[in-house]
Structures are given as structure tokens and as C-alpha cells.
Chains A and B, each alone.
Chain A
Amino acid sequence: MTDRGTCLLNDQTVALAAPDRGLVLGWLRERRGLAGTKEGCGEGECGACTVLIGERDPAGRLSYRAVAGCLLPVGELPGRHVVTVEGLNPSDGLNPIQQSLVDAGAPQCGFCFPGIVVSLAGFFLTSTDLSADDAMIALDGNICRCTGYASIRRAIEDFCSSFAPRLDAGRDRVEQLVEWGVLPEYFGNIAPRLAALPGSASTVAPSEGLLLAGGTDLLIQQPDLLELEAVDYVSRRRDLVGITRELDHVSLGAATTIEDLKRDPAFRSLVPGAPAMIERFGSTIIRNRATVAGNLVNASPIGDVTVLLLALGSELVLSREGKRRTLPLGDFYLGYKQLARKPGEIIEAVRVPATVAACTVSFEKISQRRFLDIASVNSAACARMVDGVATSFTLAIGGVAPVPLPARRTSAFLTGRTLDAATIHEAAGILDAEIDPIDDVRGSALYKRELARRVLFAHALAFAPGRVRLEELI
């Protein structure tokens, strides 16, 4: 049998072989006999299959994140620790998360609860302050059809009020959670065990095979991609991960996850509102897998991060066989899912200009459901405001064209103008001529046109509070 690397699965060491392929959800249930991880939708929309993935960072620190097992390739496992609900169970009884849920009378049909327990364990492992708000966000990808969540909220209040005050931020988190009984004892030994694992199986050169990032959209559309022999995972490319501050820009590594982007202080120094904006992207278990470049190359006309990065005037660093070039992100989209990308070329990084720090950034997303939904229309705008005048104005808008749209004419019109109601109304007319929405499941074309107007109004209200009033706009 071909060696496909070794991983830790709960408290076991597992050598992977040829049949260990496909997606983790099916692998757990069919090959490993672990039926606690459930299939609710198979597209990362319900969270019933949530598992934790743990790994050592370059500094040797152990970190975990909750991800959707139905979109996680088995090929991502070597060298990592995958944790299912079974791996969180104490040998007897319940851990404090489970106990609070039971005490609150929360479980009804029970099908979604393994995923909820795992997501909440992810919360305990990642939240800086163990606040109830963080716990709610940790569940933004977990659907429960029975409870209406009220009882789950009660359970959250219960364990947060008991553990948040006891949190010692200076201590190793895993060690503390083991002490509290939130994690079983064996977690105490995972870091050295991971360090001792043989390196992950070699993969073919990136240019030869499929280069897969988070796959959170691609694997829904094309699950059979994993049948390919040659899949290279960008998560293995340490050189592509991370955010660095350079002299005139902030560089976002292509394989940086959306969740890391959300939390990153350097990015936040440019865009203070970033966490709240990025929270509207997918859900925790999706943001933990989806990557910056993945969102860009996926070329969805409605990509949330794409629209934001467009408005920030970002630039791509593209490379092929060691040759690099840069390209304004706005020039990357040629038509529906058509990219100005040469064969074999990959995105290495996205550069966000440091000048953004002097601007105000506004982000709007209108979707049927506030969280974990695809927008009908999304939009971001970045403006430098001086005495009510937009000395620069960059508007991007999604859901209204075959590509995520840099609204160049509207932006050009508004640049240098005082933002008042008359100007904004005129700009809305220009924007209306710039867009070409279609009727689809996300809304009618007329609705999207009306939304395009209104998101522009929302940006204006954010940029010129006091000068522009809502009553003058609608």
C-alpha cells in the first residue's frame, strides 16, 4: 500500500494508505467507524460534520480550528490531529460543554449536536476571552432545526459565566482545558506526538497537479476532483501563509485563511472594521478553511472578500516558475469565471496599499439571512475624506455583473467631490448604468438595482455622517 502519511485521529496514530482518500466525513464514517460525525448537507452549510484540525505552527505551538468535515480532503490530514466528537468524550460522563447542553435541555433530535459540541470545543480552544459572544459566533455555521437555539444560548451563558473568569490568558490553552475537563487527558500529549510524526507524504509539483486551497466552494461543485492522483494543498505551503506589514503595503499570503485575515492586527490597522465585515463571510468552519486567494480565483461575482479587496485598491502578486509579476486586482477579472491568469500561474500574495490607513472603509452585504448566506448584493468602498470631500473614492460591488465589479465610472465621478445628497444621487445614476444584474435565486434584477443604489447610500452615510442624511437619499 502506498504511504500517504500519518495523522493523529483522536487519541490514535493512523497511517494513511491508498483507500484513505476523498473527504474526511465519509472517511470517518465508512473507513474509521466513527459515526458521531454526521452528514446533514454535504456542502458546509449545516455544521453537523464539524471536526477539529490541530497542527503545530512553525514555532511548535499547537493550534486547533473547527472545520466542515464534508469539505475537508483526507489528503490534508497527514501531520495533523483530527478530532471528532468521540475524541472529545470523557471516558465516562460528560465534559462541561456537553453537561451544560444537557442541563439546559438543549438536545432534541440530537443529529446536529455532535457538530455543535465540536464547534464549541473549537471556541474554547480559540476564543481570547471565552465570551458568550464569541461562542455564538463559533456556532454561526451550525444549523439546528429543532431547538430554535434558545436552549443552546442558555447553555453557552452557563459555561461562559463559569469558565471565562477562570481563564488564565498567559497559560497554555490546551493544558488549561485539560485541567478543566473540557478536553480529555490525551490532549496533553498531542504536541509531542505530532512533532514525532513522520513528515507528510510528498506531493507532486504544484504546476503538475491541481492546486487546492480551502476548496469550500470548489469541492461542492466538483467533489470528484479528489479522485485525481495529483492534488497539492496550499495549506502545506508555509511560504504562502501569513500577513506581513511592508513599507508601502500589507501583504496577505495567498493561503491565509479568511478567519486569520479577520483576526489579523496588521490588516485591522488598515481596516479597523475588518472583523465585523469579514464575519459576514461564510461561517467559522468555512472561514477556517477558505483562503484569500481561493476567494479571488474562485471568481464568484459575489465573493465577499473579493469585493472588499477590490475597494481597497489591492494588487496581486502572481508567479510562475519563479517569475513574478503584479497586477491590479481590478484587472484580474475578464468575464464570468475568466481570469487574467496565465497557465500554471498562481497567486502568491495580495498587496493592500498602506494608504488605506488614511481612508474610511465601508462594507455592505445584503443577504436573505444575515449570516452564512450568499449576498444578493455586496459592496465595499474606500474613501479618503477631507472636509466632506472624497479626495479618493474606490467603489466595488458584487452580484450585479458577471464579475466582482470595480465600479470605475462611479468611483471616478465621486473622486474629488463633496459628498452631499445631490452628488450621491447623481452617482447612483452612474452606478445604475455601470451594472447589469440578472434575475436569479438571490433576487430579481430590479431588486439588485435598488440594492446597488442603497448600498451606495449606505457608503455615503458612513463617509459623510452629518453631511448626508438618510431622509435626503430615500
Chain B
Amino acid sequence: MKHGDPQLHVRGESVFVDDLPAPHGALHAAVLGSPVAHGKITRVDVNAALAHDGVVAVLTARDIPGENQIGAILPDEPLLADGDVHHVGQPVVVVLASSAAVARRARLDVALEIDSLPAVTDPRESAAKGQLMLPARTFAIGVVDDAWGRCAHIVEGRADSGAQEHFYLETQGALAEPMEDGRVRVHSSTQAPTAVQRQTARVLGIPMHLVEVDVRRLGGAFGGKEDQATPWAVMCALGARTTGRAVRLILDRHDDMLMTGKRHPYSSDWKLGLDADGKFLAYEATYYQNAGSAADLSPAVLERSLFHSTGSYHIPNVRATGMSCRTNLAPFTAFRGFGGPQAMFVLETAIDAAARAMNVPAFELQRRNLLREESVFPYGMRAERCRAERCWDEADRAYGIEARAAGVAQHNAENVATKKGLAVMPVCFGISFTNTSMNQAGALVHVYTDGSVGVSTGAVEMGQGVNQKIRRIVAVTLGVDLDRVRVETTNTTRVANTSPTAASSGADMNGAAAQLASQQILERLRAFDADEKDWDKLVAAAHFARVDLSAHAFYATPRLHFDKTAEKGRPFAYHVYGTAIIEVTLDVLRGTAEIDAVRLVHDGGKMIDEAVDRGQVEGALAQGLGWMLLEEASWDAEGRLLHDTAGKYKVPDLGFLPDTVDVSFLADADNPEAVLGSKAVGEPPLMYGIGAYFALRNAAAAADATIDPLQAEAPLTPERTLELLAGGFRVVAVEDAGQNPD
């Protein structure tokens, strides 16, 4: 039988953090979070918890030997609350006990008293109160203020998109083991082993070389374990350091949903101006990002929103401003798309409104304004090997946009009980960490004397298939069978100072590093014996002749630069393009909808593993559809999460997703900017899901729902849909600048 992760997964034999055998005497941790969103801690008494049979230690901020701080971008996030609390669920106390059940029961007996303070949950209110994480940033090109006067049509409104829970099936967790000489080894379900190592060292007050972080695989992450896997791992390390025993902490689903952040809700203002032919002339957007109570990655997420303010379109005059607004909710964090989806939803709202004002299908305006070769983005980069129009036209050719729209119109003319809607969603997404310095990766390749190969990189396998891609890259480079190559755990003692596996760039960068390392070994082998064809013999002979069969290599994505003062540069190695056509059917009586079909053409570059990429496209799409139509997380005015269990927060199931999901990859799509001509794939397809919102709104419009096109609020749940159908929305006249210049 072939051996690999898929085989292990279906046999239930793949090992996740909670599956690691417990070291002798291992303790289990449970975390007590703040019950209120904002307040001053007046008393923490742990004696009653300590008195529980089986409880070994109860840790508070006082037990931290180093710095009580895990903030990566801003130092505003203590590991354990000290003095005050800023969101419901903020960790205050860690209970260590003989079992998780005992620890969870004992935490209820911690006497925690807090004087409540007013909580802010709304980003606009936060901005009005001046509670920004960092000063607002603006990306601009052209002269927006001058351009409005030249517009024949101007539309202006607001768009809001909601939070999204990651709902990785494996909840957050870690296991820390005390080692000899003050070392600690941490097994963490993290996308960022180096971040865990760095913050552990910081909190424990020890050098990084005393902390080893090892990651086999993650049971899903989607960004939720980029920054927010860290606290639980550090708590385990702190517990191991304090007690001298191994400590395991696995959040149960409720704690995970309550204590960890989600995709950022955005509330945005937009204004779009077009000429008489429907060409976009000017666009202005202001994003109020709900950042939660600590910076976490929010400023970086906001930056990516600014980079994607114009989506897949060319707009000559743009001003996009973004603010990370501090609120009293759990810090919002990375989620597949990382701010890009929120910005694109705003622009699509504007385009939809313009189309209604001009009485043309939105897809006509979309097609007319797609990016072209050499189109300049507001951040100064030019579109290189631009495939926006190719993807669109290929999708049109393969699936027929006009014909499908006609079919939808015919259905709607003939049916009362159901109405169909169609929307097209083009995507353009920049690849690279927008923080240029993070675009680096390392790999360590060993060829063993029997010819088998072991590879370590900084990439973390979380289901996205990065290990499979790296295996293929190494196998192809060395010229050996795939089965001879094994990818090892991600371990900070083998590959150090790694960037998180994020920004869709894991395979690009770590694969490139693995390729470089393999090439070094191959060059040594060829220099030793250029003629030997038998790999096993070549390796054995080279070893005997004292040729080094190991190599470390380093990759830094070339040609990247960005000037944060001017907000101009070339921040991305390249862009990924694609176009999706989405059709939905609305049940007019009940306000429920079904997604009928998604058909798309995706620019996958020259794919290293088509099955992996197809899975990424289909999976990301599902999350995008869920974000737009299904998944709802909300809070009450006191900052308490209402959708706080798996029973209340619904992610897509098999029945939610359409029977028809046609994914075709753009042919002849080589990409010289990434390893083996491939393209990153993790995030971009999520944004195809945005089309579902507009498809459903179009269906509602066909049912004579009164829709205000100047307002959009996602997700478009059955409740919001019925509100449209039942006339809960006013008809608002769209401003037409041609007649009423302002």
C-alpha cells in the first residue's frame, strides 16, 4: 500500500496533538476566562480550586517568570489578565490537574471578582472614541476628488460583513514537556512554530534555544492558528516549567469559540463613480475594521484590505482608508483571505449598486473594468501576466454567462414560488506576506545512505497539502520516486526563524527552499559522479567518498519591496486570478435559498499537484459561500458571544453546498515567479463565494423584494432574506450624478 497522510487519515492513524501519548505524570489544563467584556479585576482567589482532589497548581499572572506579554505586532496582549480584562473569555487563570474534567470543574471554584466597565462592541463607535490600534492608513492613486466631477454616475453607500468562526475541526491545543537543563519541548497545533517559540521564551524569561517547538500536523487552521495558537502553547510551557510535569491543554469547542478570535467584521462606507460607458473612474472606501481587544494581526489584515480595495478591477482614481478599531471582543484574527474578502465585498456592493442605477447587469460593468496587463494597482504595482480577462472569458466560453442569465430570467418569468439569481465573481489576489520581511523560508534535506530522503522545512501541514507538494518538488529535483521522500515534522531545532505558514505562500517559499537544498545535494552528487544512473549506488558511493548528503537552503522571495510612507511598491510576487459564476434559487415563500451551482475558472499556474489544488479551491469556495449566506456570529450589547456552540454556529454541511461545483483550471498558465511555475492556491478561491450574496439578492429582486442597493449586510441569512421579501427594506433612489451634480 502507498503510505501518506491521506492513507493515515482514513485509517484514523494520523496523530494530532491530543493523540500524542501522555508522558508519565502529565497534567491537564483548563483556562478560566473573564465573564465580562471590560472591567477591573478586584479579586482572584484560587484556594477553593486548589483544594479540589487532583488539582496540582493554579496559575495566574503572578506566576509568570518573564514578561506577561504575547502580542506580536503591538505589546497589548498579556498571556493572563493582570489588573483588567478587555473581552469575555480573556484568560485569567490556568488550572492544572490530573484530568481535564477535574481542571474544568475546579476552575469554576476560582473566586474572580471584576468591577465592570462599559464595553464597546461596534467599530464605528470605537473610531468615534478614538480607540484605534494604530493611526488610519490610506492607499491612494490618481486624484479622486477631481474625478467625481467627470463621473456620469455616482453611487454611495455602506456595506457590512460579519465575523466568521474558523471552526477547524481540531480545536486549539498543545502539550509541553519539561526537558533536561531547563529546556521545554512544545507540541503545538500552530501555523507559527517560531511564534510559539519566541513567545514562550519571552513569557518564561529564557532564551529561545531552550524552547523546542514541534508540529506534526493541524486538524485545520484557516488562519485561526497563526497567532491564536500561541497562548495555549505558552500556558502549557508555563505549567511544565512551574510543575516539572508535562502539561496538555486542549480547548473544548465552547471555550475555543468563546476565547479565540474570528474573521474581522467590517463596516465600510463606499462611493463609486463611473463614466457614461460604465467605466470606473473613481472609488473611495473607508473600512472600519472591528479588531477586538488586542492588535493581534489586525493591522496586517487591514493592510491586505487596502491592497485589495480594487479587487479584480482597474480604477484610475482611488482613495481607500482603513482603521483597526479596538473593541471589547476577543481579538479578531487571520482567516483565509486575511482582509481581502471584506474589501472585495465592499467593492462588489458598489458595483451592484451602480449596475442597478444604470439598469445594466452587474456582469457587464465587471467585465468592462477588469484588470489588464500593465494596469496599475493603487499601491503602485503593475499587473504582470494579468489573467483577469482570460479567466473571465474562459469562464464565459465554457459556461456561458449570457445564456445562463437568460435561463435565470426565463425561470423567473415562468415561476412564482421560486426565483433564481445569478452573479459573477472575478478574483484577483496578491501573493506574498504584505510584510516584506516575512517572505523567507528555510529547508533542510537529508539523503540517507540507503537513498531515502528526509525533508524538513518551516511549512506546517494543516490539510492544505503543502507536504505533498514539497515531496513532489524534492522528488522531481532529485529524480527519485515520490515514495523515497518523507516530509518530517516542522521543528524549530531543524529549521529556525520561520515565518508562519500563511498568506497562501507555504508551498511557494518552503518548496523553493527545499528545491534549492535538493539542488545543492544533487550538484555535489553530480560533481562526484556525473554518470551513475542508479540513485542508491550513487548515494552509497558518495557517502563512502565523504560527500555531504545533507543541505540547508534559504529562500527569500525576490523583487519585493514596499514603502509604508508612500504606500507604494511591489509587495506581491504575483497575483492569482479567476472567475466564478454562481446561481442560486430562492424559495419565495420561506425566504430560504439553495445554491444551485458554482462554475469557475481558476488560474492555478502550472500545478504541482492538481488533486491538492482542486481540493483547496473547492474547500475555500465552501468557506466563502458559508461566510456570505450561512455563518453568523453575533454578540449582545455586553460583548457576550451569542453563537457560542457548534449547535448555534452553523458551518456548511453537505446539504448546504451545491450539487454542481465545476472547477476548471486555466490551461497554459506558467508562473515564473514561483517554484516549478506553480501558483499559491489557499486563499484566493474563498472570494468566489462573494458572488453568492449578490446572486441571492438578485433572486430576491426578481421576487419584487424591496432592496436598497446602497446597503449590504452579510451574511444574507434566511432571516435577512425574508426581511427583504417581506418589505423590511425601503426603496432608496440612487443618486445619479449626471442629473444632479453635487
Contacts and interface: CB of A to CB of B under 8 A. Distances in A.
Nearest to A101: B10
A146 B615 contact: yes
Nearest to A364: B590
A371 B651 CA distance: 11
A208 B646 CA distance: 34
Given A92-B1, A143-B169, A368-B650, A108 B10 contact: no
B653 A372 contact: yes
Contacts of B417: 470
B219 interface: yes
B622 interface: yes
A370 interface: yes
Nearest to B461: A109
A455 to B, nearest CB: 8
A41 B618 CA distance: 24
A390 B610 CA distance: 59
Given A36-B12, A444-B719, A447-B722, A148 B618 contact: yes
Contacts of A150: 618, 657, 661, 663
A144 B10 CA distance: 13
Interface stretch (A43-51, A309-317, A342-350, A404-412): A43-51
Contact of B651 (A98, A114, A143, A366): A143
Given A43-B645, A98-B11, A470-B417, A108 B619 contact: yes
A38 B170 contact: yes
Contacts of B15: 35
Contact of B169 (A111, A148, A149): A111
Contacts of A114: 9-12
A364 B221 CA distance: 36
B614 interface: yes
Interface stretch (A54-62, A83-91, A287-295): A83-91
A220 B647 contact: yes
A469 B623 CA distance: 37
A108 B614 contact: no
A110 B463 contact: yes
A45 B12 contact: no
Interface residues of B, number: 78
B67 to A, nearest CB: 33
Given A42-B252, A143-B651, A105 B612 contact: yes
B589 A46 contact: no
Interface string B227-257: 0000000000000000000000010111000
Given A85-B11, A366-B591, A111 B170 contact: yes
Given A368-B718, A441-B642, A454-B589, A105 B614 contact: yes
A195 to B, nearest CB: 28
Interface in B244-273: 250, 252-254
A113 interface: yes
Nearest to A92: B1
Interface residues of A, number: 78
B611 interface: yes
A184 to B, nearest CB: 12
Contacts of B252: 39, 42
Interface string B609-630: 0011011001111110000001
Contact of A152 (B222, B591, B612, B654): B654
B648 A441 contact: yes
A182 interface: no
B650 A149 contact: no
B1 A40 contact: no
Given A42-B252, A107-B5, A368-B632, A136 B654 contact: yes
A122 to B, nearest CB: 15
A145 B651 contact: yes
B590 A109 contact: no
Given A36-B13, A368-B630, A143 B719 contact: no
Which has the most chain A C-beta neighbours within 10 Å: B645, B652, B718? B718
B307 to A, nearest CB: 26
Contact of A145 (B167, B217, B611, B612): B167
B646 A109 contact: no
B132 interface: no
Contact of A447 (B219, B253, B723): B723
B6 interface: yes
B317 interface: no
Contact of B462 (A109, A140, A447): A109
B654 A113 contact: no
A376 B10 contact: no
Contacts of B589: 454, 457-458, 461, 470, 473-474
Contacts of A444: 719
A470 B418 CA distance: 11
A151 interface: yes
Which has the most chain B C-beta neighbours within 10 Å: A140, A444, A474? A474
Nearest to B658: A150
A469 B588 CA distance: 13
A105 B611 contact: yes
A36 B169 contact: no
Contacts of A94: 1, 7, 10-11
Given A85-B11, A107-B10, A447-B723, A145 B717 contact: no
B590 A441 contact: no
Contacts of B222: 145
Contacts of A142: 654
Given A35-B19, A443-B719, A470-B417, A147 B615 contact: yes
A373 B653 CA distance: 10
B630 A369 contact: yes
Given A40-B169, A109-B170, A451-B722, A370 B655 contact: yes
A457 B5 CA distance: 52
A102 interface: yes
B203 interface: no
A48 B269 CA distance: 41
A231 interface: no
A147 B253 contact: no
Given A46-B646, A108-B464, A117 B618 contact: no
Nearest to A108: B463
Given A110-B5, A147-B618, A366-B591, 5 more contacts: A35-B12, A40-B171, A94-B7, A139-B654, A146-B619
Interface of A: 29, 35-43, 45-46, 48, 84-86, 89, 92-94, 97-98, 101-102, 105-114, 117, 136, 139-140, 142-153, 220, 364, 366-374, 376, 441, 443-444, 447, 450-451, 454-455, 457-458, 461, 469-471, 473-474
25 contacts: A36-B13, A45-B646, A46-B646, A94-B1, A94-B10, A98-B10, A101-B10, A105-B612, A105-B615, A107-B10, A110-B9, A136-B655, A145-B169, A145-B623, A146-B220, A147-B615, A149-B622, A150-B661, A150-B663, A153-B654, A366-B590, A367-B718, A369-B652, A454-B590, A458-B590
- Which 3 pairs of residues, A with B, have the shortest CB-CB distance? A36-B12, A109-B463, A110-B9
